[in-house]
Amino acid sequence: MNANLHSPEHMLQIEYIKHPQDYDMGSFHYHNAYELLFLQEGEYTLITMDTAYTICKNQVSLIPPCCMHKSLGRAGNERTLMYFDDRFLNRYFTEKSRALLLSCFRSGQLPLSPEAFSEALALLFQIRDFVHKNDYDAAYPAFVRILSLLDDSCRENILKTSDAEKKRGTENPPLIAEVITYINQNYSTIRCLDDISSHFYITKYHLCRLFRNATSSTVMDHLNSIRLFQACRLLENTSKSITDISYACGFHSSAYFSDLFKKALGMSPRAYRKLKS
């Protein structure tokens, strides 16, 4: 596990990325900015602290700041990303307008019509050109239009979901999403694979195969990633001892915790705390 902070260079930034087949980000990371990911081709799976889901062509992932996540794509994909942070928001928006503008981020993912997606891509390229010229005032209208498109899609999606639920009832989420949510919420008390498999009434073999097929990671790797991420937060924000933190995060040996921490982050928990203090 290596939960890294990735900070965009500019307060508004556009990136184009094309990944090959069987792409795996490998490590969890998070941003101090908002991230919009527009998928132009292929598909990819996003794994967060709360769930995992797959998005396809003409869909958008909406990732808020400080949301730990990683992505992978078996079929390869092509995507354009927009990052923006508090510097940009504070320059152009009041607190009230900012809250309205960002309400679509509660959705996590959104489908766009082909027409809306094409319009959004054209606007993204406009923004990229303006940012290269350091002309954020010129980029502002295109930025607002993109967020408006997402807000419209969010409203339409709510109505469609409501109508579908009335017709057939609420469908259960995919099992892998439930497993990830369970791990993320119970990382401190899970003792072994049996705790997870028995909760879902499946065998350990089926659990491990299902998890690896969906995420290209093992159950224990994900569990330890969550534990180490939480340990980093406690090291940064509390004065708890290393031993207390190891037990609070579900490790039953402070020595094992320290070894795993050093292997993952390249330094001891004590050194990490000193670095962040």
Q: Which domains does the chain have, with CATH numbers?
A: 4-168 (2.60.120.10), 175-276 (1.10.10.60)
Higher pLDDT, 257 or 272: 257
Residue whose C-alpha is closest to residue 117's, from 149, 92, 145, 154:
149
Q: What is the mean pLDDT of residues 100-129?
A: 92
* pLDDT tens digit sequence for 133-145: 999 999 999 999 9
CA separation for the pair 101, 90 (Å, rounded): 12
CA atoms within 13 A on the CB side of 69: 24
Higher pLDDT, 76 or 206: 206
Residue whose C-alpha is closest to residue 58's, from 35, 78, 33, 87:
78
Q: What is the mean pLDDT of residues 38-45?
A: 87
CA separation for the pair 204, 47 (Å, rounded): 21
Q: What angle separates helix 269-276 from helix 254-265, to the nearest 10 degrees?
A: 60
